Amino acid sequence: MNEKDKENEGEGVQTKKNEKDQSWIPKIIRKRVCSSFIEDTFSNGAMCQCGNKREDHEPVAMEDNFGAAIVSRWDSAQHSTEVPTDAFGEVEFAGAGKRQSHFLRLSCDSDPQVVYNIMTTSWALPLPNLVVSVVGGEGRAKMKSWVKDVLRQGLVRAAQSTGAWILTGGLREGIGHYVGEAVRDHATASSSSQGIAQVVALGIAPWGMVHNREQLVSKQGSFPAKYFVQNTSRDSFCLDKNYQAFLLVDDGTVGCGGGETAFRARLEEYISHQRTGIYGSGNIEIPVLCLLISGETNMLERVDRSLQNCIPWLVLAGSGGAADFLCEVLGESSVAEENELHEVLHEPLCKHFPKDTNILPLLTERAVSILKNRDLITVYDVEQDASEDFDTVILKALVKACKRQTSDASEYIEELRLAVAWNRVDIAKSELFNGDVQWKYEDLEDSMTDALVNDKSQFVRLFTESGLNILEYLTYGRLEQLYRALPANCLVRQLLEHRLSERQETNRDHSQESSTPFSHATSFSSSGPSPGTSPWTSTGTAPRPTPRRAKMVSLFEVSKVLCDLLGDVCEPFYCQPLELSNKPNTRQSLKHVNKLLLGDCMYLQHRCPSPWSCLFIWAVLQNRKEMATYFWEMAGESVISGLAACKILRELSRLESETETKLAMKELAMHFENLAYGVFSECYRSSESRSFKLLIRGSPVWGRATCLQMATVADARLFFSHDGVQSLLSQIWWGEMDRSTEVWKLMVSFFCPLLIYTNLIKFRQLEEELKEEEPAAREMDSTDGDTVYSLREITKNEEDAEELRTLKSTHKGRRRPPIPPDSSRPFIVFRWRQFWFAPVTAFLGNVLMYFLFLLLFATVLLADFQPPPPTGPSPLELVLYFWVFTLVCEELRQTFFLGNLPLLQRMRKYIQDMWNKMDLSAIMLFLIGLCCRMFPYSYSFGRAVLCVDFMVFTLRLIHIFAVHKQLGPKLIIVEKMVKDVFFFLFFLGVWLLAYGVANEALLYPYEARPEWIFRRVFYRPYLHIFGQIPLDEIDAAKRTMKNCTTNHELIKLGAEPCTSGYANWLVIILLVIYLLVANIVLLNLLIAMFSYTFSKVQERSDIYWKFQRYNLIVEYHSRPALAPPFIILSHLNLFIKRNIRKVPSVKIQHFSRVLQHCAPLQYIKLHYSPLLSFFDPPLLLGRRPLFRSAYSLHTR
């Protein structure tokens, strides 16, 4: 079977499928057939008044000759009958490619509801947000050029931007032809531009006027029908190929127009009562607007009928005919009395309709009736309104139609929803939010949800500024609905569904143990839809139990996804409304949530305590830049919120598979890091001390996480490079000592501790610190909770717990008098603690003792490594064992006794650090070597392991370079170069294996020893790279006589095999190619990779070093003051205080402090006036709640 036959077979299968799908259409859709032959007097009995010839009528139509003789006029309702339609399916226009249009022949009395359902379901036309019915412009009269521009640049573009349907006659004559051309031009432009929606053009034409209509007739339907047009200049009544669908209205006539007018008006009226909306919510009533262009006298009846059905009209001034008549009389009749209208209308009627003066009274009555509904008519003058977009004109016409001398906002809700659907905030501001309408919260609630779901951030901002209370709006139930409305292709949607499936699996396991009857009610409050209402409408009633809710995404899944993205840096979200502990990943929590969701779910009615932050997270998860930025401005917690968004987006970018989306997430993450950097810069310039407290403040919104913690997990290197962050770290690093202290003074004080009581080292005075912080303390005197009084509290060690509590309990008043240094302990003890408890002292002490440890280790390996017991080990080796034991104790403390995280999370966090992995490897190797050296049979192996372990301990010393500004970035360079080496070794290994096997097979065909084969295949080619080439074996011309053999038996016994001289030329060629590729190509590739890595890191070396320095400061800030092996004393002290005396630790891991907000607005304006320039000053100063929400972070 050839390809053509296969193609025809495939089309036949598709045709049968479509025919089967629409075979029900003739059962419900009818056509009209003339049932009574009424003779046309001008045809001598050959024609009927219906337009058909006598022979085309059925015999039954010719039977009643007497009845037909007394009838003078043929009427469709009386003289035609309905029979099943015989023309439906798809039409393919000749010369128009494979694009097909839907068509349907139907009776003029067909039900509009049935037809509308066929178009939206069977034909799958998208639900319209607007219907524009274009009327007028009949016949073959040439249209004015500017009218074509209005159709092409105005109407079609507006239909595309608003998702509208365009209704015309659909024929290649009059206005329908020009609309078709405009749709064609738009389709051509949209084919080259992605993201442009297609325009739906629908033609409603009389069946009897369509040329070549017999090509469409098929009782089984046409899929498709081939439609040919032979003469385009004459056949002006043929179907236009630029339309998506055709409704061919049959009133039983042939060659007569106007039979479709009544059905078209009924269809427009039906559509105007239908509802559409966001994700099928059905909260927007579809507006229908009629556009009048030119037109004859029959258009006045059409306009009058539609106005009585409250359908607004847009009249195009200057287009001629009925349109110009209405434009003129609307202007003149506005000042005329009602009894003078007949006189006013007489002259315009005679002017515009000179051929119809015989029906002037009838036209006058219709014009008077039209003027009674003048509020529904809008005139569009191209010269005056050229600056406005056509969609703006359309919406203004709809708004004008609903303005019936009232300011009640409920009259404008539909237009507001339409503006949201069109995303035209400028229209909403100028027409709906100009002060004439008093909007209430209930009026904006549903539109706010539409704006959120469809990413209309400007509308969200407008609604918030116009009276919508976000605290009342965002309940937990509505927040769940927002997460359920995530797009299907969204990555977060997939993560939520994965978590939902895990919970449902647990629920199935639990239901096997016990079963509970549930009510199958479907009513929702703010958590979901109720029958007959929008799913977003809040009824204010409590939701009844329903198992359906347990099958949908809840806040529990949101909390788990956020935990996956943010990690252990903060406490889980939404635990309080779900009545969970801070460990939502347990099986008990899953069972509790399932039971809760199967119950009343009263938490759905509760308001979110931090609505802007919840919406900010929701927007960030969807990678919505503009909306997330607005929520970031409103939420407060600006610095940590920006850093949290950075963390979330970077984690999502690792999971995203689409390259474009991945890059957009990384770009948005950098955007929020820059915002956090900018806000903190303003804070730092305004108040240095308060900006330090901002960094170490535990945010209640973000699970008690601090800015420094969030910046660490977000890998926010730019934020860490800020001078304010580095200034805080320097103060923490130096403790109570002056930051300008030279290192040599510290080293001298190590060996002579009495020098710390002299002026060799400068210390900051506590009195000066208290004086600096006293103004800030007065502003925060009413603060509840745990407050950082000074930086001293950040650098306190565990031993200061009791004294710190005493200090806080003593100074809870409005003013805290300065505390002298010797008030709590003697000066000798106080100064001693100031020196030894500083992180820099702990660092230098650890470095010094580590050098001594390496010296001891090397001494043992080189000079004092005794035989196994009972002879050994030596005393020095026992000291080494004890020293390593103290190192093990410190690693155990860091793993199991540091922080409040669960045990598994602490272990995972410990093992993620590269240096901790090196410590663990060194300790494991030491234990293996220790065990092996204790036995004679493994003594040598144990010593070898310890030698390797010494190398690992020595390489661990590189970590101290992180504190150095020049050497610190080099560690990053070395780390990245090591990764580059692995890629290089992969390519090198391929060439090495290829050359090694071929070289060995050619030179030593008799070799049978596996160990020698392995050496010559891998080891010798590797040495070739460095120039060690045995020419006496490879080159036959330089071979010398030696003792070798070719006997296989002797070779197996260990004899040296002789090299083969066969194909020696091939061996040399392979050597040349191997050296060329390995030494020139691959090595230069490695050098280029190293150069790129070096330049990439070097240009941002300062940022890399500052971020690396933070990790080092955190490590030594959390370490005890004493270094190994004396650290064992600190461990014993901590064990006694924690487990025997039960004294809690006040040393802040990662510099975390809980500060609660209590600062008046006047203090914000006084001390943070530079921040006003960062946001919109009029908005901030004019709206106190917005100002507080935007700056609440910096006042705490």
Mind listing the pLDDT tens digit for each residue in 281-319? 556 678 888 988 888 888 888 888 888 888 888 888 888
The span from the CA of 273 to the CA of 664, in Å, is 41
Model confidence at 1169: pLDDT above 50: no
Closest residue by Cα to residue 693 from 707, 714, 674, 712: 707
Closest residue by Cα to residue 395 from 342, 450, 432, 350: 432
| pLDDT tens by residue, 389-419 | 777 787 777 776 765 444 455 667 777 877 8
| pLDDT tens by residue, 456-472 | 899 999 998 888 889 99
Q: Can you give the pLDDT at residue 547?
A: 55
Q: Can you give the pLDDT at residue 537?
A: 38
Which residues, 6 or more positions from 641, have their beta carbon under 8 angstroms from its beta carbon? 613, 616, 632, 635, 672, 676, 701, 702, 1193
Lowest-confidence pick of 103-107, 212-216, 877-881, 1045-1049: 1045-1049
Model confidence at 800: pLDDT above 60: no
Secondary structure tally for the chain: helices H, strands E: 53, 14
The span from the CA of 707 to the CA of 1151, in Å, is 10
Q: Can you give the pLDDT at residue 863?
A: 92
The span from the CA of 159 to the CA of 128, in Å, is 10
Q: Can you give the pLDDT at residue 973?
A: 85
Model confidence at 144: pLDDT above 70: yes
Q: What is the 3-state secondary structure (H, E, C) of 239-308?
A: ECCCCCEEEEEECCCCCCCCCCHHHHHHHHHHHHCCEECHHHCCCEECCEEEEEECCCCHHHHHHHHHHH
For residue 67, give the 3-state DSSP assignment. Answer: helix
Backbone angles phi, psi at 764, to 5 degrees: -70, 140
Tokens coding 842: 């702990």
Residue 597 or 1190, more confident: 597
Q: Can you give the pLDDT at residue 544?
A: 43
| pLDDT tens by residue, 990-1005 | 989 999 999 888 888 8
Residue type, 792: R
Q: Can you give the pLDDT at residue 1164?
A: 33
The span from the CA of 488 to the CA of 500, in Å, is 15
Closest residue by Cα to residue 601 from 543, 648, 642: 543
The span from the CA of 322 to the CA of 131, in Å, is 22
Residue type, 347: E
Average pLDDT of the residues in 838-844:
89
Residue 880 or 1065, more confident: 880
Inter-residue contact 876 to 860 (CB < 8 Å) = yes
| pLDDT tens by residue, 1125-1148 | 989 988 888 888 777 877 765 554
How confident is residue 648, by pLDDT bands cut at 50, 70 and 90?
Answer: very high
Residue 220 or 1170, more confident: 220
What is the per-residue DSSP string for 190-254?
HHSSTTPPPPEEEEEEEGGG-TTGGGG--TT-EEEEEE--S-TTT-TTSBPTT-SEEEEEE-S-S
- When mean pLDDT is compared over 219-228, 354-363, 760-769, 862-871, the highest value belongs to 862-871
| pLDDT tens by residue, 730-767 | 888 888 888 888 888 888 888 888 888 888 888 876 54
Q: Which helix (H) or strand (E) holds 46?
A: none
Lowest-confidence pick of 158-167, 423-432, 1146-1155: 1146-1155
| pLDDT tens by residue, 679-713 | 999 999 998 888 998 998 889 899 889 999 899 89
Q: Please, what is the average pLDDT of the chain?
A: 78
Q: Can you give the pLDDT at residue 922?
A: 95
The span from the CA of 525 to the CA of 603, in Å, is 11
Q: Can you give the pLDDT at residue 260?
A: 87
Model confidence at 248: pLDDT above 90: yes
Percent of all residues in the chain with a pLDDT value above 70, rounded to a whole number: 78
Instruction: Report residue 638 CA to chain centroid gap.
Output: 20
Average pLDDT of the residues in 108-122:
91
How confident is residue 639, by pLDDT bands cut at 50, 70 and 90?
Answer: very high
| pLDDT tens by residue, 589-627 | 777 888 888 877 888 889 999 999 999 999 999 999 999
Q: Can you give the pLDDT at residue 411?
A: 64
Average pLDDT of the residues in 317-325:
85
- Report the C-alpha dihedral over residues 970, 974, 979, 981, rounded to 10 degrees: 140
Q: Please give the model's pTM, rounded to 2 decimal places.
A: 0.71
| pLDDT tens by residue, 890-916 | 999 888 877 666 777 778 888 888 888
Average pLDDT of the residues in 776-780:
41
CB neighbourhood size of 1141 (10 A): 9
Residue 1156 or 637, more confident: 637
By 3-state DSSP, what share of the chain in percent is helix, strand and coil, each rounded to 5?
A: 60, 10, 35
How confident is residue 111, by pLDDT bands cut at 50, 70 and 90?
Answer: very high
- When mean pLDDT is compared over 151-160, 364-373, 774-783, the highest value belongs to 364-373
How confident is residue 64, by pLDDT bands cut at 50, 70 and 90?
Answer: low
Q: Can you give the pLDDT at residue 974?
A: 85
Tokens coding 255: 């060659």
Lowest-confidence pick of 240-249, 338-347, 568-577, 956-965: 338-347
Tokens coding 570: 């903060």
Q: Can you give the pLDDT at residue 904?
A: 79
How confident is residue 259, by pLDDT bands cut at 50, 70 and 90?
Answer: confident
